[in-house]
Structure 1
Amino acid sequence: MARLLSSSSSVVIFFIHFQILLITQAIAQPDFLYHFCENHKGNYPRNSTYESNLNHLLSILPSQGGNGYGFYYLPYGNSSNQVYAIGLCRGDANPDVCVSCLNNATQRLPQNCPNQKEAVGWYDYCMLRYSNRSMFGVMETSLKVYLWNTQNVSSNVDEFFSDLRTLLDGLKNRAASGSSLRKFATGNASAPDFQTLYALVQCTPDLSKQDCNNCLDDAFDDIPTCCDNKIGGRVIGTNCNFRYEIRLFYNQTDDAPLASSPPPSTNATTTTGGNESNTSRTTVIIAVVSSAAVALVLIISVCVFLKKRGARKIDQTHPVNEPVEEIESVESLQYSFETTRVATDNFSEANKLGQGGFGSVYRGKLPNGQDIAVKRLSRNSNQGDLEFKNEVLLVAKLQHRNLVRLLGFCLEGSERLLVYEFVPNASLDHFIFDPSKRANLDWERRYKIIGGIARGLLYLHEDSRLRVIHRDLKASNILLDKEMHPKISDFGMARLFVVDQTQGNTNRIVGTYGYMAPEYAMHGHFSVRTDVFSFGVLLLEIVSGQKNNCFRHGEHVEDLLSYAWRNWRDRTASNIIDPLVRVNSVSEIMRYIHIGLLCVQENVAHRPTMNTVVLMLNSNSLSLPVPTEPAFFMNSNIGSDMALASEFNSRTTESDHSESKSVNQASANEASISELYPR
């Protein structure tokens, strides 16, 4: 497709060739708009397990995956054959229309994108996506479809679009403030020449308020490109969409969960454009026509559009080699210092949540009522402003339901602030190590916490745009939301000021003794399996309710790993289970202890990856290997809740990395520094 669209003549030829096909397709599928096959994401073999999982998932999605408000999400399968699907119905769609549209989409999209692991299809009343990676809560703006009315605004163009942007901004705020069930808004406003503007905006409800705002802002910015001087237009992406017309096109039941009847259909001629970015945009021209005479008019419109767009490209104010999209995205995340200062009551002690070696964290409230957590970083970093902005942009793209979300940043003078979502139930250590609170953590809640941490860590290691080695996974860095779902925190402070690191070793160690893998603590060697070690320690802490430091248990004084291994070896592993946990059967807990011991083995090669860990946690039928002896810390005089920062001489080789370390004590909720590797 990209080759077809490499020149203006190619676009016109493609349009003429595709026109008759679209007329036929529009008759058979009146609500079909456009589909996109992610060819570069890979194919699956015919009659494979992946194909079987995809077919099964699509068959049950419309009936089992919905939240009752037009949003559908389901994963299915295990490991490399796992499939994820998302469906979103227009917020004003009748439930029957919604289900009918999704049923149609689940049949058509695999036919349109045969053997593609990732695809998206847009229809008038719904959107369907599926992939071999988790998409839940991940904002993406690279794929869009444009539609516009062929009729121009007759007069007062600037006033018309000023009124439109005011209307859209108001609807954006309403939609973004919606719940996790639905983010949707409609409305109207007066326009020049006694006209009325009607508009609809929508985000997938798995997005945060900030992400919904950002997604819609990105879509609104395309109005001059897609809908220049047009009385109606529409931009549809994978996470948000909007539409405007000078006539009523939606059902006026905005406050209802789903509308009672479908909106009136449109007879306006529309044109769509596909995958785009600010630096290189691929445009697909499609028409749904009522007569052959319209074709010539649209061909001329295409040529005029391409000519205007070419002129706009020449007039860009950014340098040719500058990543315009990246810079615009990071600026959209920026908060003013005054906003954060007011939100935290001038960083008052009453709002202070904690303090570590990398700065203090404060609770705050934005003017729109959103609760936030603001990390005020120490002022001893030599990191440049552009590095800091790029770092924030990378971290902001790490979005998963089991990660604390970075909302934005502030960079003014020497002030560097990170703004996160606020998680109300504090950290896991406040529950698991408190006897009174621990009693309320039954086994069902504990294994859900373990599973959530594992999925978040798997995302950091395998499924995100980047590979993040957390290096400070511990109970105090696991925050719990109001439903007690775990969220990994302190993963987002990229070490851009450490330029001499490789993926295998580092000359600066940060983390917490007791959770640190021995090869990292002693020699600075790290990989995804150093995080697996920390996860294993955390798993055993959750099961036992004990910290991994020296404690007395009967006649023995030992750390948790030593205690767990001794009981496993002596076939008394039930002693490891927290006596406050009441269960009918201990077999599942014993399996989790087994997995925990596999994760903390001293030999790095013997530890499983997080992909394997998640598979073992979710499949009781999978046989587990026999664990070998873990690494013990009981001879250390450093407790497991003491943070470590070690400096090696940057000129030493890997073999010269000695054990001489300067240990600085800090609080248990000290921020960690993570390594980010682009994929």
Structure 2
Amino acid sequence: MDLSAPEEISSLVVYGNQSQLVPPHGSRIAVSTQEDGKRFESWDGTDEVVFGQALCRRDVNRSACGDCVRIASQEIMNKCNYKDADIWYEYCQVSYSYSNFFSAMTYQGQYPDSNNQKQNVSNPKELSSALIKLMDGLISEATWASSMFAVDSSNFSSQGHVYGLVQCTRGISGSDCNNCLRFAWGDLRACCSPHQGGTVVSRYCNVRFELYRFYNQHSKGLGKEKIILLVICIMAGALLASLGICVARRRRKRRMTRDEERDENVLLQELQKPIELSISRGDLEYSDDMFVMDLVTLRAATANFSLTNKLGQGGFGIVYKGILPDGNEIAVKRLSMKSWQGVEEFKNELTLIAKLKHKNLVRLLGWGIDGHEKLLIYEYMANKSLDVFLSDPMKSSQLDWGARYSIINGIARGLLYLHEDSVPKIIHRDLKLSNVLLDIDMVAKISDFGMARIFSEKQNVANTRRVVGTFGYMAPEYAMEGQFSAKSDVFSFGVILLEIISRKKNSGFHLTKRASSLLKYAWILWNEGRELEFVDPFLLKSFPPADVRRIIQIGLLCVQEDPADRPLMTDVVVLLESGPAVLLQPKQPAFSVGRNIPLDRLSMPESSCINDITASTMLPR
């Protein structure tokens, strides 16, 4: 493929917001670019401000990038005269909006029509296994790479190789990149894992795989040349079509200065001192169960943080299995070496988890700091996360109705402890399947308190400008307004409950033909008296129908749109354990946290425009 030939650019997809208007006639525009895709503040006009972005695939050369961006900038105006639009080509994408999408990362994954043209493979299980390993490695690499881009291939049976590519825009944080890519990968896996290829595109990240090498492996691509990022400010009266006429300026790549590195070292040093002092005072309940461990010992325990010992990965770092010299198994979370958020999470976990004692909460055993290394040591959970268990058909078959009910009840009791019995009161803010771990006896334990917040005894609600959490689990008032409370944790619990019963995930469910979200699907079936169709087929021989109806109804009550309509965890535990009882009738739950796509628009023709879609929002930390 000749990467410099504009005619090779293909796979046009355009989306816009029809509810918005075209800007008034007669205005002017200013355009700036910044090297390596890092965003900067736009300057305000007297009337309206428009924010724009162009991103080239990092493996293409400068000429192809420029041609693609020029064509895309022209076509986005021809195809969609709206105030919010995106256009994707093979080599680049262009977006603009009257809202400042630089200040908030919103995942809105879309499928190009090319996905519909892919044939199925003859051995989908082998492809799925190869894809999982390939994409997990690519996402990890892109998350920590300065380029936020990764390509690689993996052996795929006798059919050769499967090739993958992931990329994030350079203006988002590493944790947001990780979240975006994992949601995009979830969507891609839901739609295309049995196919010979597939793509999911979004404003902030893209993922793709094929059974042929579609990327430029040997070219340096854009390298240190600029990945074009446009900030377009439209003032009193500008024609938005002017987006096709752009003047680019070079900006030198920003690097972390010595002052910034020194500041992080100071923060780490200051963090270490109060931890040591608090341990000596007994504030962290230091005992034989709470120890400080050096990096050398932890490297030996985890085989130098070998990927073979990797248990999972979150927004701030990777968790490894370790074996101490005495034979005891541990889980070691190695936080990002260059992450301010990692430092804050480290401190948050130490100040919160060390004081929490409950059988349904993961126990923190110790910690360690060595230079930029920040490590947290937890009790080892032999059955990993609930997410891993439910995603595996063989493992999930071990979860009969009794086991799932016990897990649901354990999560509820852990949350009840955090909300009511813990001193101080704690709001988790990131409850999801992957943050519920299972021990050797299948006891559910809530983990990952890096985003948790303390509430005073009389405090019920708090607001934040930095919304953190995971798409699909965030309550609407938190995702849209930054307002969180015990009721926002209740919403997350309701999503988990419905996921456990159905063995389906809320994220990515909108791209199936059943409904636009798992919550909506549950509501439709429950409202029509067909709720048993919602249940994982494996449970059909082991569950009492009346109990399942009651549990689904409790889940729907937990995901009500208005927080006032949701029960407290005290009520949830009573409802779960009281047996038959008269329950309130749930209203239509919140569907807006996540995309709501009409079923007839799951496959869009090329060069088409659709209404903008509602999605949960994560402000950068």
Normalised by the length of structure 1, the TM-score is: 0.44
